[in-house]
Chains A and B, each alone.
Chain A
């Protein structure tokens, strides 16, 4: 008997269409495909300890508004827009503004080395101190693992802008980290 073929990873459009018809497992697949994207967008704007709740909020909002999405293949940029708006709401409602660099980063999973946890915290602090234009691009690269073209597709920026943001952002980040001695 032949082995079953490898399942083809469904595209966003087919998952969105299925989710719109009430297929919750399809929406779960969309969550697993894009949770990192949402996490990165939120980390660029809100305190890390609030990100977990907001990630779920963003997907719940998306689920409720899925009927309003006109282009099923544009799910990722649409989701990123919801995440940015949710972050803006969070900042507006927050009475006391807490600078990102003063907030404790999320706890690392058990088993991670103390060095990795320290490094992640240091990196988030350093990225939070960068100009806003570079934050989201760097976090999409580091947290979501997206390439330059993928970042452009999900943010609406041109490839050139993404390339510039990455180049300058990485340069600034390296300076900040070296200046603090974190990477020594």
Chain B
């Protein structure tokens, strides 16, 4: 039985209670109809949100698209593009008779030689990243180091503020030539530090060693033979014999690429050509300790190794 205060209501209040308890209630809604009405707004909002996201995505792609200019012939755009602008995941291809210039928004530009295929790929943060599948590009980049990156089937070129030419041939070889500033090229755990005035071959087995344009003919011939002869002993002998002090940069790159016995000969030749750090033991160098290699690199006069690493803080994984 329900408990009530004031159980003994006076008669006049009991009448009042009866009258108020009979106040009409509004008719009960059709709850199923309510549900049917409730659905469309949710769907409409979801559709509107999806449309907005797609629109914002397209707008962002369009705002970030890079202008493409035909320098010769009729270069073609591939994938996402807006007018004559190529968006992320889009690309530019040149045939045998065409050349193109691509604006790298905020950093510089890239010229594409005939017979090239270049794609825009997604970079991290402020990075501008391209992929050169084949052909030749000339990059002119005025930007903080490590923001402009070009991937190739043979490795990755990371700009440190420079102008350079990068080629990838159909036969699986390529070439990186730096005309100002410097570039690092990394592949399979090996990095090549390529300063202005040098170039290096890009080989299927790893990043080639850089060499100076103005090296002696004898040295250039010897290192070319070393590249092509599979690094035979006699080829290395010719390289070491022809090397001059300015070729120490090339010899330093050979250190992690040769076997231990040959490494001793290379180190000895470097020590003959330039003044090497006295406080770094030869054993540490021959063991390819990163600190020892970096100290010898600094002795060449190209700045500290840390300034060159493609990824700050990451030590090169020497073989």
Where the two chains meet, the residues of A that have a C-beta atom closer than 8 Å to any C-beta of B are 22, 24-25, 27-28, 31-32, 35-36, 39, 51-53, 55-56, 59-60, 63-64, 106-109, 112, 116-117, 119-120, 123-124, 139, 141-143, 145, 147-150, 162-163, 166-167, 170, 173-174, 177, 183
Contact = CB atoms under 8 A, between A and B. Distances in A.
Contact of A31 (B22, B23, B28): B28
Contacts of A39: 23, 25
Given A60-B29, A167-B5, A167-B6, A143 B21 contact: yes
Interface residues of B, number: 28
Given A24-B32, A35-B25, A36-B25, A174 B17 contact: no
B31 A120 contact: no
B23 A56 contact: no
B34 A147 contact: no
B23 to A, nearest CB: 6
A107 B22 CA distance: 11
B16 A123 contact: yes
Contacts of B26: 35, 51-53, 55-56
Contact of A109 (B13, B18, B22, B38): B22
Contact of B19 (A120, A148, A170): A120
Contacts of B18: 116
B126 interface: no
B24 to A, nearest CB: 5
B25 to A, nearest CB: 5
Contacts of B29: 31, 56, 59-60
B314 interface: no
Contacts of A173: 13, 16
Contacts of B21: 142-143, 145
B4 A174 contact: no
Most buried by A among B12, B15, B23, B32: B23
B124 interface: no
Contacts of A147: 2-5
Interface in B171-203: none
B22 A142 contact: no
B10 interface: yes
B4 to A, nearest CB: 5
A174 B10 contact: yes
Contacts of B31: 24-25, 27-28, 31, 63
Interface in B255-311: none
Given A123-B19, A149-B3, A107 B12 contact: no
A105 B18 CA distance: 16
B34 A112 contact: no
Given A31-B28, A120-B20, A143-B23, A183 B12 contact: yes
11 contacts: A53-B26, A108-B24, A120-B20, A120-B22, A142-B21, A143-B23, A148-B5, A166-B5, A173-B13, A177-B12, A183-B12
A71 B5 CA distance: 28
The CB with the most chain B CB atoms within 10 A, among A25, A170, A173, is that of A170
Contacts of B6: 166-167, 170
B17 A142 contact: yes
A23 B16 CA distance: 37
B69 to A, nearest CB: 56
Contacts of A35: 25-26, 28
A139 B4 CA distance: 14
Nearest to A22: B35
A52 B2 CA distance: 28
A35 B16 CA distance: 20
Nearest to A52: B26
B16 A119 contact: yes
Contacts of B38: 64
A60 B34 contact: yes
A165 to B, nearest CB: 10
